[in-house]
Structure 1
Amino acid sequence: MTTTRVELDEPKCVASGQCVLAAPEVFDQRDDDGVAVLLEEYPGEELLHDARTAEAVCPAAAIRLVER
């Protein structure tokens, strides 16, 4: 199990969907308002690159990866 934790600040999310495009196994969007939903708080090593990409492309800076 990875020790990298994904944090999503939902109130900051602008519902652009960039995180879902970059890391669909880590993020989804709510149907009613499009706000991001975190699917994998501790993504496996195989998903970390995508999670880092999602962090980088988020226009609201609502995603943060924290190394533990």
Structure 2
Amino acid sequence: MAARGDLDRIRREQVFLASMARRMLATNILTDPDALERLMAALRASVTVDDLAQHAGHQSCTN
């Protein structure tokens, strides 16, 4: 089997995110304010989101 590099990584990420979404829906995290706040705090502590406009060099994206 040939390694497909990025395509395999993308698929694994999709499977992981789908699993997380199913778990959040099954455990009612999205409807429990305390649980949702804990989830958001964990996400803020561990996820970095790049500013697309900064990387693209387009000021118009921020307006």
TM-score above 0.5? no
TM-score by length of 1: 0.28
**Structure holding more helix per residue:** 2
- Structure with more relative contact order (C-alpha pairs < 8 Å, separation 6 or more): 1
Q: Look at both structures and tell me which one has the larger radius of gyration over its CA atoms.
A: 2
Q: Which structure is higher in strand share?
A: 1
What TM-score does the superposition give when structure 2 sets the normalisation length?
A: 0.29
